[in-house]
A and B are shown apart, each in its own frame.
Chain A
């Protein structure tokens, strides 16, 4: 009995002592922030992560969808109220869809800033200076791409007041728990300031990036984005020059046909494409596969929702010149969500995995930019506008034009790039109403042809200025 008591006490004490140290538990499926810069592998992973952020449907997919239905390419018939608001130029600051764009964009920018700010001080044996610079250049390209997307959506274009109007806040720091919050409550920079920030990022990037960098950002991508920036800013000479640099680099070439839209990222057509695969998608656990659910809108049932068919205006535009392979090969006839018989694009066909690739920068756009800039500038850098346009018409199976004017280039641009998110900016910068016969709400400069600064920003940043209009 006595022995038993002693055993009891010893046993009891031993359990007591052994438990206390067990409470330190480390995650097995995440990396703690403090250790990201400890190895070359995790640094590369953090750069890859920025590309992964760029896959978000809120940055690549939804903005293109919305830009085309705010303009005259898509007849939106869906039931999501937040998209209906945008379609009817009644977008409110509380709109969840635009909120996601804003938040995802600054998350990407934060991830890019982390590399741009913290990497220079990192010293690792297996990480060369050249490699460090390239990682930083890639981060800058993706940051520039994202700022450009934001400024186009949330601010009036350059044409509105020569770029002196408010753009977006330019965050460049990295947040830590010790940070002063006011560093992240910046006021909006002007459109010109934002544009020159983007320009600088891209110039920095193209100085470092290799000509060929596989599926990651390369020098041509930075040049191509610069060409688009200059076109939007009506800096015709620079636009033509950078577009021409990309065309003449030999890295890219017009694809012989239109099979580059999905699952063909190595096509010579692509300068920079957002590659979506079934396995690297989920930004959100609740959505199986890739989260590029915008694919649902572009495709009819079953599989898709059938919310975003061709507008009648676009159907008419193609019908005016029959035989266009861009219509014949890239559409399907089906019933839309409202029960109407119409046409849908097949540029985003992967309704099974929602993993269609996002069109970002392709060589065709460079020909269109060169043509437009040359025409506006009265120059023929690289080639004449007529030749450039006929090159594209030739691929589409259409007869050559004998002369081109701005309208002809715009029409070609529309048919070529429809559903790729260019149309809204193309109309606005050319001072055209977004809708055929549209009223003042869709006119260039109208309050709601751009988005309000989102509520999350307004509430959490006392220095922010809302866009004019009733938000």
Chain B
């Protein structure tokens, strides 16, 4: 009824229009370059609001008068104009816009037309991410961009991902890239929160609503990053949030989804009775065959019950996501307004997160020379944390290791003490509180003044204000006397960017752009950390109720940065392009003798497709060559790395008297940034009417002045002195291929594929570094060893061979490659690498009528992981034999010919079996179906039937981490692990909680 009324009105209007003008009706058919009709092409009479769309057969009808121009626009096609002449029919074949490359891309302190970019940047556009349903923004980058590797630490909510742009570029300073949100470089101090095992902290990107993001740009080569000077060496990720659109109808997008979360894969461990059987069988064999019962081992009788710890710490987490976006603008003002609420349950008990966020982006053209605007995002987050990795409070770790015969509850359902230092994890999670609350505001306000044609002065003031409060309350049952701890951190940064930009084209052929600017930032981190013990009851909750309060930390860390920078780009006819940039950075972190650093880059490009000899080939739509060279720095050195200090407070006090003690590092006034010099060469191409795009880049990045802690002789009383002495090189290839495999009237299949190879080599360590027997300098760790001349990351372990099927002994190789049953640490050799030979991602998108399907995969090949926790979960004797083991341990050697996992219980190697060796090193190559999204967009007819309220309705289902192809030995273990963001500990884990497998269902309504 209502629909009929609407149609009636429409018809009336049409009649009125026709009656009122001299216009005629133009009809026609629009087809694409393959000759198929193109539905949904927008057609407007230029300069009017009169418009229509083609129907399913590509037909349209529109009224207009002679002399007016029709404008045909369609996403991915070149915009066409046709002037209305005598004919009443205008048919049109649209051409594919070979270069969506016309688009403008965000780069450091500015924008650049994509076809004129000679920097090496990875661009993740809105199309690639708008349909991805992710928990945090870093996942938007996963598998999308060559040279950018994201390793999720675990499936624990809030856990940080390890993000590497072109590999590891530092040894002791951070190797995480600089993240810039709408021009504001955000802080990412990992130690702002309490350590919960591992060394990964809280994800800095969990403060950005992924739905607010319009695009991401990864700056990779020096040409792109040197404008960020002393902070660009690890790459820069520019995040641009959604802006309004001028002169467009306001659209409201409401996205609602529900998500179910489970663990991907967990190890198979023994049940209580299997554990009793296993222990009793082994004890019997060791007892010369005389039966030893489980009871006599204190494990209780077979059938006397036990606890499924691993089952108990997992659950199906249910999450709700609500997202509202309002976008629009008038002729002069545009705005975006976003609202976001996410209520998530992890698949691990006790792990919950609630995030609420809001965003306002607004800008207005005040008059012809002044533009002003503001971008502001606010996030409020509440996270219930759980332990991870080698931490007795980590649900997964403890559930793996806790003996299955230990009861969790008594007959009345009360918690029982476990009786060992491995706690009753159910009680820990249920009775303790561990809540992290964060509030963060990131935003900037700007004005743009154009005093002269082509000249723009942009003035930006930005803030990044982070408030963090973490509250821990341990109950009497778990911690006698109880314990409360509260830590407050505020990390505030304010900054200003002042840039002058001049662009002009001379004689139509010479385009010159000059940028000059300054950047000043002040950051202040303030921390209070208070603990209180001695509580009468668990009902007294807070610090003040404990008998013994203590201030663990109360301190402030100020730092300042002042940079001047300039960039000049010139091109001739868009064919020959050159660009140079320079930045001078001063930082309070650098030593007094090295306060200012200079960073520069030079780049050149040649757009071959603008040359007639290439155009004559009639093959390339676009082809360019480019090269760049330049330097960038890494300033992640700490707050006062160059000063010699005495520490006060708890460090120096004695029984109530104030004291000071020397800090472990003496002063070094020469201390400065680490510096990387990068060479980058690339080819970009597009051919077959833009159906194939292929880009290749080669890079070589030499990092010198690496900050290394030169170990001092212990007799000095100092541990080490920080000096800029190391040198390292990363080189590699990046390939990006995007293709339109099939395009028919109703069906389209596109593929994006990328692959990266990175070779790392340590060129120099400090002269006094430890050396190996071959005289090479090394940095030694228990699992890895960095060796001068080799990769920074190499697993350095005793080689494990297996169980000798005749003797039942476990066998290893000694340093010379001979079999031994009693290896020592001197037998360690390079056994593997946590760095992949190559890695990358692939996205396939299919669309059929209103349906779209996107399948995102990521992969990594040739890397290993060391799961250190297997030293406990394999073998019989770890921690006095009280811990549970993986199921393969049931296969111990019993008689000659056995192909066993464990040695004979009578073998001298039985208790040596699980010593640290390549037995815990596993092949971590994988191919993972990271994200599958199936969506259905209701057709116009259905929208009409809904009353025309909605301009779009999208229903979708998403699956994350659906399938992982990996080596058999990785059963139950996630290949994407790392328990540490420290470059020296990549690919190591104790027991990382696996990634989450997520299923979500949702709807996106646009009106």
CB closest chain-A residue, reference B664: A107
- Give chain A residues whose Cβ lies under 8 Å from the Cβ of B882: 337-339
Binary per-residue interface labels of chain A (270-310) against chain B in the complex, 1 for a CB within 8 Å, 0 otherwise: 00000101111111011011000000000001111111000
A236 to B195, CA, bound (A): 53
- Give chain A residues whose Cβ lies under 8 Å from the Cβ of B658: 45, 48
Q: B507 an interface residue at 8 Å Cβ cutoff?
A: no
Q: B439 an interface residue at 8 Å Cβ cutoff?
A: no
B419:A335 contact, CB within 8 angstroms: yes
Q: Which of A8-28 contact B (CB under 8 A)?
A: 8, 12, 15-16, 19-20, 22-25, 27-28
A457 to B770, CA, bound (A): 11
Give the size range of B's interface with the partner.
Answer: 35 or more
Binary per-residue interface labels of chain B (489-502) against chain A in the complex, 1 for a CB within 8 Å, 0 otherwise: 00000001010100
Q: A235 an interface residue at 8 Å Cβ cutoff?
A: no
B560:A23 contact, CB within 8 angstroms: yes
Q: B548 an interface residue at 8 Å Cβ cutoff?
A: yes
Q: Which of B602-651 contact A (CB under 8 A)?
A: 639-640, 643-651
Q: Which of A321-342 contact B (CB under 8 A)?
A: 335, 337-339
Q: Which of B653-678 contact A (CB under 8 A)?
A: 653-664, 666-668
Q: A181 an interface residue at 8 Å Cβ cutoff?
A: yes
Q: A457 touches which one: B548, B660, B714 (CB < 8 A)?
A: B714
A176 to B665, CA, bound (A): 11
With contacts A30-B645, A184-B716 taken as known, whether A55 is within 8 angstroms of B479 at the C-beta atoms is: no
**Nearest CB of B to A9, in Å:** 9
- Give chain A residues whose Cβ lies under 8 Å from the Cβ of B825: 92, 94
A459:B711 contact, CB within 8 angstroms: yes
With contacts A32-B644, A45-B652 taken as known, whether A51 is within 8 angstroms of B420 at the C-beta atoms is: no
Q: Determine which residue in B554, B559, B651, B655 has the highest number of CB atoms from chain A within 10 A of its CB, and name it.
A: B655
With contacts A4-B451, A278-B548 taken as known, whether A185 is within 8 angstroms of B666 at the C-beta atoms is: no
Q: A30 touches which one: B554, B595, B647 (CB < 8 A)?
A: B647
B646:A33 contact, CB within 8 angstroms: yes
A295 to B776, CA, bound (A): 41
A102:B651 contact, CB within 8 angstroms: no
A176:B666 contact, CB within 8 angstroms: yes
CB closest chain-A residue, reference B483: A352
Q: A229 an interface residue at 8 Å Cβ cutoff?
A: no
CB closest chain-B residue, reference A455: B770
- Give chain A residues whose Cβ lies under 8 Å from the Cβ of B420: 301, 306, 335, 337, 339
B586:A185 contact, CB within 8 angstroms: no
Q: B533 an interface residue at 8 Å Cβ cutoff?
A: yes
Total A-B contacts with CB atoms under 8 angstroms apart: 272
- Give chain B residues whose Cβ lies under 8 Å from the Cβ of A304: 421
A42 to B718, CA, bound (A): 20
Q: Which of B674-716 contact A (CB under 8 A)?
A: 711-716
A22:B644 contact, CB within 8 angstroms: no
A279:B650 contact, CB within 8 angstroms: yes
A339 to B551, CA, bound (A): 36
A215:B655 contact, CB within 8 angstroms: yes
- Give chain B residues whose Cβ lies under 8 Å from the Cβ of A277: 655-656
A79 to B369, CA, bound (A): 72
A4 to B367, CA, bound (A): 14
CB closest chain-A residue, reference B653: A280
- Give chain A residues whose Cβ lies under 8 Å from the Cβ of B369: 1, 4
B586:A20 contact, CB within 8 angstroms: yes
**Nearest CB of B to A120, in Å:** 19
A283 to B654, CA, bound (A): 12
Q: Determine which residue in A23, A184, A186, A282 has the highest number of CB atoms from chain B within 10 A of its CB, and name it.
A: A23
With contacts A110-B662, A286-B195, A301-B419 taken as known, whether A103 is within 8 angstroms of B457 at the C-beta atoms is: no
B715:A171 contact, CB within 8 angstroms: yes
Q: A29 an interface residue at 8 Å Cβ cutoff?
A: yes
A46:B646 contact, CB within 8 angstroms: yes
- Give chain A residues whose Cβ lies under 8 Å from the Cβ of B639: 27
A301:B421 contact, CB within 8 angstroms: yes
B659:A49 contact, CB within 8 angstroms: yes
**Nearest CB of B to A303, in Å:** 5
- Give chain A residues whose Cβ lies under 8 Å from the Cβ of B533: 278, 289, 352-353
**Nearest CB of A to B449, in Å:** 6
A275:B654 contact, CB within 8 angstroms: yes
A459 to B713, CA, bound (A): 8
A233 to B242, CA, bound (A): 80
B653:A303 contact, CB within 8 angstroms: no
A29:B651 contact, CB within 8 angstroms: no
Q: A268 an interface residue at 8 Å Cβ cutoff?
A: no
- Give chain A residues whose Cβ lies under 8 Å from the Cβ of B664: 107
- Give chain A residues whose Cβ lies under 8 Å from the Cβ of B558: 25, 28
**Nearest CB of A to B172, in Å:** 17
A356 to B458, CA, bound (A): 62
Q: B879 an interface residue at 8 Å Cβ cutoff?
A: yes
Binary per-residue interface labels of chain A (165-207) against chain B in the complex, 1 for a CB within 8 Å, 0 otherwise: 0000101001111010100111000000000000000000000
With contacts A22-B520, A279-B650, A339-B880 taken as known, whether A42 is within 8 angstroms of B662 at the C-beta atoms is: no
Q: Is the interface of B mostly helix, strand, loop or mixed?
A: mixed
A28:B666 contact, CB within 8 angstroms: no
Q: A339 touches which one: B298, B457, B520, B650 (CB < 8 A)?
A: B298
A77 to B884, CA, bound (A): 18
Q: B485 an interface residue at 8 Å Cβ cutoff?
A: yes
Q: Determine which residue in A22, A47, A94, A283 has the highest number of CB atoms from chain B within 10 A of its CB, and name it.
A: A22
B716:A175 contact, CB within 8 angstroms: yes
Q: Which of B421-444 contact A (CB under 8 A)?
A: 421, 423
B588:A79 contact, CB within 8 angstroms: no
B480:A351 contact, CB within 8 angstroms: yes
Q: B858 an interface residue at 8 Å Cβ cutoff?
A: no
A277 to B713, CA, bound (A): 32
**Nearest CB of A to B188, in Å:** 19
With contacts A31-B660, A351-B480 taken as known, whether A15 is within 8 angstroms of B654 at the C-beta atoms is: no
Q: A139 an interface residue at 8 Å Cβ cutoff?
A: no
- Give chain B residues whose Cβ lies under 8 Å from the Cβ of A23: 560, 562, 586-588, 595
A110 to B714, CA, bound (A): 9
- Give chain A residues whose Cβ lies under 8 Å from the Cβ of B654: 48-49, 51-52, 55, 215, 275, 280
With contacts A265-B655, A280-B653, A303-B479 taken as known, whether A103 is within 8 angstroms of B714 at the C-beta atoms is: yes
A303 to B477, CA, bound (A): 10
Q: A343 an interface residue at 8 Å Cβ cutoff?
A: no
**Nearest CB of A to B547, in Å:** 10
Q: B552 an interface residue at 8 Å Cβ cutoff?
A: yes
CB closest chain-B residue, reference A286: B195
Q: B215 an interface residue at 8 Å Cβ cutoff?
A: no
Q: B878 touches which one: A24, A77, A79, A171 (CB < 8 A)?
A: A79
- Give chain A residues whose Cβ lies under 8 Å from the Cβ of B660: 31, 36, 42, 45-46, 48-49
- Give chain A residues whose Cβ lies under 8 Å from the Cβ of B480: 302-303, 351-352
B662:A48 contact, CB within 8 angstroms: no
With contacts A283-B651, A302-B478 taken as known, whether A175 is within 8 angstroms of B718 at the C-beta atoms is: yes
A339:B667 contact, CB within 8 angstroms: no
A265 to B655, CA, bound (A): 10
- Give chain A residues whose Cβ lies under 8 Å from the Cβ of B712: 175, 181, 184, 460
Q: B417 an interface residue at 8 Å Cβ cutoff?
A: yes
Additional A-B contacts beyond A29-B649, A179-B716, A302-B479 (11; CB < 8 A): A32-B643, A32-B646, A33-B666, A55-B654, A79-B880, A92-B825, A106-B714, A107-B661, A185-B713, A301-B421, A301-B423
Could you list some 19 contacts between A and B, CB below 8 A?
A4-B451, A24-B588, A25-B559, A29-B555, A45-B652, A45-B659, A79-B878, A110-B662, A111-B662, A177-B721, A280-B656, A301-B419, A302-B417, A304-B421, A305-B421, A307-B421, A351-B480, A456-B711, A457-B713
In order of increasing CB-CB distance, the 8 nearest A-B pairs are A110-B717, A48-B659, A338-B880, A175-B716, A280-B653, A33-B644, A171-B715, A79-B879
Interface residues, chain B, CB within 8 Å of chain A?
195, 298, 369, 417-421, 423, 449, 451, 457, 477-481, 483, 485, 496, 498, 500, 518, 520, 522, 531, 533-534, 548, 550-556, 558-560, 562, 564, 586-588, 595, 639-640, 643-664, 666-668, 711-719, 721, 768, 770, 825, 878-882
